[in-house]
Structure 1
Amino acid sequence: MTPGGSPERYELVVPDGWWAIDLDPGRREANVAALVEQQWRGIDDAPLLKAQAREELVRRAEEAARVGGRQLFLSVGTLAGVPLSASLLVSTVPLATPGELTELAESRREAGLDVGHVALPAGPALRTRWREASVEGPDQPTTTCLDLHVPVPSEPRVLLLQFRTPMEPLADALVDVFDAIAGTLRWSSVPGRSGRR
């Protein structure tokens, strides 16, 4: 628990092949550096590409932190030699009113998105799935998006889980993985274990 007694600390289990980046400014750079070193281990003849990969990951992590992100999980695994591109951003979002989630559900439903409520071990959650066209052009892959808004117990906030994958042929299977990850979410009262994998 936090010093004020808020149960906002959480535990979340991700599959092997996913990497966690803590978005706290004091840990962000070290987590990105460790990921880049792992991914480029044994490749010593491409320092420019390695530096570019690191810069891109730092930029992405900084953007995630600016929107309230606490952790960014990236899939670095492969299937039959093909990288499984997927991500999860975990954020804390304030709720202005008790009915804000109901209003969000209604507006997303009106926009034609797949909206529903699910019962997670961490509590009831608003679940929304949709597909998003790339802003880089029609020839770029469509992104499958899955958001889960999980109210923080006794607090006017939600923990927002934002899953994304551009792998359209595997989207349904990856959404099953996303739902399974969300199903591991637990509130923790153990100090220092927020976001423990």
Structure 2
Amino acid sequence: MATAEHRRPPNGFNLVPPPGWDVIPLRTGTKEAMDRIVRKAVAQLPAGFPKDDIPKARLKLTQEMKKVVRRAGTKGGMTLYLPTERLHGVALPVSIVASEPIEIPRVRPDSGPEAVLAALASVTPGAETRELDTVAALRSERDVPADVAKGVDVAHRRVEYFVPVPDSTPDQYLTFSFSALIAPGSDPAFYDILVELFDAVMGTFRWSYA
């Protein structure tokens, strides 16, 4: 039965974000999730925070959240993962976006996802193969410099996993993108730690057949 079950494509996936992170669905329920996160953030303001400034803080949080959600949506995002609690007093400038499945034609009629991954790896600097829940995926990592002309306001470290959906017809792929904003003069080792965190999160990836 198990073999027959896994001959059909999964209908989703499970990913376990770190403690202190929240999930924002980008298909439906986006506003409700954003409102919940803003309410939680306002509730966590320091005890001495001026009450008169709370509406302003709520508005700023909402505007920032909308900006991040809009950016994720324009990139075909399906689910957004954000840290909403500070780590040792530090707000982590990171996000994870799971994108909608995309279809990619086979390199040859008799080839499979392996050939597509190999073709992408040949043109993607720093690409390497990782296994996610028994499926070979392509991982890449790079620093993206700020370029306002290209819509990149702040330099960031980007890590992407490109994952074939098993037994999908036609062949479908998911993309998981991690982004960490790079502050000028910051220690590169800090971003290496954040990348390790993302890799650990991707290690929790499992297909869902329910």
Larger displacement relative to structure 2 (160-169 or 57-66): 57-66
Structure 2 residue 192 is matched with structure 1 residue 180 = no
Give 1:136 shift. 5.2
**In the alignment, residue 150 of structure 1 is paired with which amino acid?**
V
Q: Residues 130, 153 of structure 1: CA spacing in aligned structure 2 closer, same or farther, 3 A cutoff?
A: same
Residue aligned with 2:39, SS: helix
Q: Deviation of residue 76 (structure 1)?
A: 2.3
The aligned counterpart of 2:173 is 158
Q: Which has the larger radius of gyration?
A: 2
Which residue of structure 2 lines up, in the alignment, with residue 60 of structure 1? 68
Partner of 1:103: 119
Contact in 2 for aligned 1:75/1:87 (Cα 8 Å): yes
Kindly tell me the number of residue pairs found equivalent between the two proteins: 179
Instruction: Give the superposition deviation at 1:183.
Output: 0.9
Identity %: 26
Displaced runs of 4 or more, over 6 A: none
Q: By how many angstroms is 1:122 displaced?
A: 4.9
1:46 equivalent in alignment to 2:49: no
- Give the CA deviation at 1:141: 5.9
Q: Amino acid of the residue matched to residue 33 of structure 2?
A: N
Preserved contact between residue 141 and residue 158 of structure 2 (Cα < 8 Å): yes
SS in 2 for 1:40: helix
RMSD value over aligned CA atoms? Answer: 2.2
**Aligned-partner Cα distance in 2 for 1:35–1:124:** 34
Matches within 5 A, 1:1-197: 6-24=9-27, 26-41=28-43, 42=45, 44=51, 45-99=53-107, 100-108=116-124, 113-135=125-147, 142-155=155-168, 156-167=171-182, 169=187, 170-190=190-210
CA deviation map 1:110-145 (0-9, x unaligned): xxx3110011225111000000112359xx863111
TM-score (norm 1): 0.81
Q: TM-score, normalised by structure 2?
A: 0.76
Distance 1:144 1:59 in 2: 19
Q: Distance in 2 between matches of 1:79 and 1:61?
A: 22
Between the aligned partners of 1:63 and 1:176, the Cα distance in structure 2 is 24
Distance 1:180 1:38, change over 3 A: same
Q: CA–CA distance in 2 between the matches of 1:74 and 1:89?
A: 9
Between the aligned partners of 2:19 and 2:104, the Cα distance in structure 1 is: 37
Q: CA deviation at 1:81?
A: 1.4
Q: How far apart are 1:159 and its partner, in Å?
A: 1.5
Higher RCO (C-alpha under 8 Å, 6+ residues apart) = 1
